[in-house]
Amino acid sequence: MTVPTMSVAEASRFETLVRVERGEIRVADAMVLLRLQRRQVYRLLERLKQDGAAGLISRRRGRPSNRRFSDAFRNEVAGLVRERYADFGPTLAAEYLAERHGITLSHETLRQIMMAAGLWTAKAAKRATLHQSRYRRDRRGELVQVDGSDHDWFEGRGPRCSLLVYIDDATSELMHLEMAESESAFSYMRATTAYLKRHGKPVAFYTDKHSAFRNNNATADSDGMSHLGRALDRLGVEIICANSPQAKGRVERANGTLQDRLVKAMRLEGINSIEEANAFLPRYMARHNERFACPPRERTDAHRPLAPHEDVEAEMVWREERTVTAALALHYNKAMFILDPTPLARSLARKRVQICEYPDGRIEIRHGQRALPYTVFDKMRQVNQAAIVDSKQLGAALALAQAIQATAPHHRQRNNNEPARSSRSVGVFAPVVTATSDKVDRRRLCTPKLKRGPRLSNEELIARGLGEYAR
């Protein structure tokens, strides 16, 4: 015996038609309840009399839809996805199929095709997390979330690097993207300078507790601010640090989206370096914002234009104070800066001046708003005192010198609290390129040459003309 399976709508239709047959309601009432015309109600009543409840079940159940794509077309789409977009999600793959191949499919249709071809696995339903959502800010530029995402952005084709992300809280609009070698104070200074020049000054940046934004080791004899925080304070921009990654979830979710979509976009464009990526990012931002950005509640923009007297590049520096000696010299990071003996420099003896190091490696010594000319004597690169070597040890000393010259000149380092600089920086503290990075143990370089060999036999001594040393 076959038991027919009816949907909820079909069961409701069966109950209404049974009431019509019993005379409990009129056909006009059934037309209103079923939202059908009179002839359709009589057609269903006739089918109910002939086949019973099974006659009300849709006869297309279990049959393919008339609007279903053909098997050839589905195989063509699956082959195209397998060849070019194998690791793409259905939503992203559908966008690229429409943009590059003119194939328009809904995300769900493509998901079903990919699942049938074994290219996508249905994800289990996630357990709902209970948390109190925070409303978006009302105006664009009122709160900008900032974060750095360390990732293999080039999938092994280039160096591993960090993406600095600036996203507006009110609109989810990507305001600025920049690739950097690492998430450091100088990289944030460069990115923030570009942001302020393009958009103006927001009310506040919402960041994590990275040392570039917050001085985690503040002492009583300092103002407790980082170098970037001090520069933004002079420009009138507030920094707010989040207590957890979930608090700045908008930029965290954007990082996950970028690690999926941006990586694949750069792969298709053949981008393999930080320079190529930074040239491509403005185009990608426009496309991303068109897809994901939303309008703010209020149309007014909270960004403030830079005042004529505000020099962003002059403020975004690593700034430290030093005392000028009587000889017009000052020390910074194991280097000595000697001021030119100008009347202004002579008046600054035993007074405090500021050393300003730019993100590109340039260094200025300032007193107020004036830059002082100087020369540099780098104590890390001075020539060592010549050693006195006996003639019997000259060969071993030359071998030691050649081994040291083939590697790093020395293993000494500068101050531990110096800023992290880019490998492309210029200036006094630019990194020195060496042939190899292997560390040499100076104690073992000449060990084979200085080690005493085994004693020769009497026959070998006589054969070499050294019979006087025979036992």
Mean pLDDT by runs of 10 across the 471 residues of the chain is 71 87 89 89 88 79 81 93 92 93 93 91 66 82 94 92 95 95 91 95 93 76 79 93 89 94 95 94 95 93 93 91 92 89 92 91 90 84 61 66 64 65 68 54 50 68 69 65
- Compute the chain's Rg from CA coordinates: 37
DSSP for 129-166, please give it: PP-PPPPPPSSBTS-EEEEEEEE-TTTTSS--EEEEEE
Per DSSP, the chain holds a count of helices (H) and strands (E) of: 15, 12
pTM of the model: 0.68
pLDDT of residue 450: 45
Q: Tell me which residue has tokens 């909270």.
A: 302
Contact 27, 41 (CB under 8 A): yes
Characterize the bridge pairing of strands 370-372 and 329-332.
unpaired
pLDDT of residue 343: 92
| Token pair listed for 114 | 């990919």
What is the CB neighbour count within 10 angstroms for residue 376? 13
List C-alpha distances in Å: 347 to 289, 340, 363, 377: 55, 12, 21, 22
What is the CB neighbour count within 10 angstroms for residue 235? 17
Q: Identify any residues that bridge with 367 across adjacent strands, giving them in sequence order.
A: 370
| Token pair listed for 226 | 């980082």
How many residues comprise the chain?
Answer: 471
DSSP label of 387? P
- Please state, in angstroms and rounded to a whole number, the distance separating the CA atoms of residues 237 and 128: 37
pLDDT of residue 132: 64
What is the CB neighbour count within 10 angstroms for residue 85? 22
Contact 431, 365 (CB under 8 A): no
Q: At what angle do helices 274-292 and 249-269 cross, to 10 degrees?
A: 120
Contact 260, 153 (CB under 8 A): no
